[in-house]
A and B are shown apart, each in its own frame.
Chain A
Amino acid sequence: MNDDEGREMAVFTEAIKVPLQDRDAFLDLACGGDEKMRQQVVSLLKAHDRIGNFLEDPPSEASIE
């Protein structure tokens, strides 16, 4: 994991704690003009909001019969 990736994970980790209405403002601050990273983090946040049980159930339980 290089610096960019470290930042991406750090911004994501903080952003999920921020109330939804404050998220844009937080991202403006945290991404500081790095539009590419901002877009990526926004994608990740959207996925996070829909995460449900994704990967929580191990595959073998359901699939080995």
Chain B
Amino acid sequence: MAGFAAGTTRMSVEGGMLMSYVSVNHELHNMSDATVMLAAIKAGDSNAVEELLDLVYDELRRLAASKLALEPPGQTLQPTALVHEAWLRLVGNQTPAFKDRQHFFRACAEAMRWILIDRVRHKHRIRHGGGYQRVDFENLDLAAPVVENQLMALNEALDKFALKYPAQAEMVKLRYFVGLTNEEAGEVLGISVTTAKKYWTFSRAWLLNEMEREQGDECS
């Protein structure tokens, strides 16, 4: 199984830019190669999903930090572009099979979601199961507290939603956190674009209803 493409060193610091994060004590064993992991996922190894998630999360954080360090303050990041770039870095020049791409995007959706949640909790270190210590970047403050609260509320609603409607919850993650269109998300999930649109319409109503219900409970 081929490794990373030449030049994609996982531990490299992009452009020498300063990053205020610490990645400590993570054991890079022979599963660290993304392509090996993807193959393991296909073979049904559920640990491999976790490991891929770690890898994607890490890569997206690095990309996010390096891009922010390079750009003037106040610039925004394009989530889809980030995901595509992370994909290229992880898998290099190989053309991934459809299944690999599917798994990658789903992992990315989770990764993006947790990156955002991480930043909402940016004042605290979060201990991750794999032995990482994730420290958030000081300059990645969310624009307004209300945005943070909404994100946390959405996240809770999404977790509840996923218990009853797992496929639909995946749809939401792919659209909202990765920025895929209905067509692209449908392709990743293996559903028709018509079904994807139905899922999306239903999901938005369900989540809005749930978030308002929760808010109402809190206020009463």
Interface residues of A in 31-65 (CB under 8 A from B): 43-48, 50-51, 54-55, 58-65
Q: Is the CB of B208 within 8 A of A9?
A: no
Q: Which segment of B39-47, B51-59, B71-79, B85-93 sits at the interface?
A: B71-79
Residues in A neighbouring B175, C-beta threshold 8 A: 55
Question: Which residue from chain B places its CB closest to the CB of A43 in the assembled complex?
Answer: B209
Q: How many residues of B contact A (CB 8 A)?
A: 41
The CA-CA distance from A51 to B176 in the complex, in Å, is 15
Q: Is the CB of A13 within 8 A of B201?
A: yes
A13 contact from B82, B112, B154, B198, Cβ within 8 A: B198
**Residues of A in contact with B (beta carbons under 8 Å apart):** 1, 5, 9, 12-13, 16, 43-48, 50-51, 54-55, 58-65
* A13-B201, A44-B206, A61-B77 given; 13 more Cβ-contact pairs under 8 Å: A9-B168, A9-B202, A13-B202, A47-B204, A47-B209, A48-B201, A51-B205, A54-B204, A58-B179, A60-B76, A60-B116, A60-B177, A65-B140
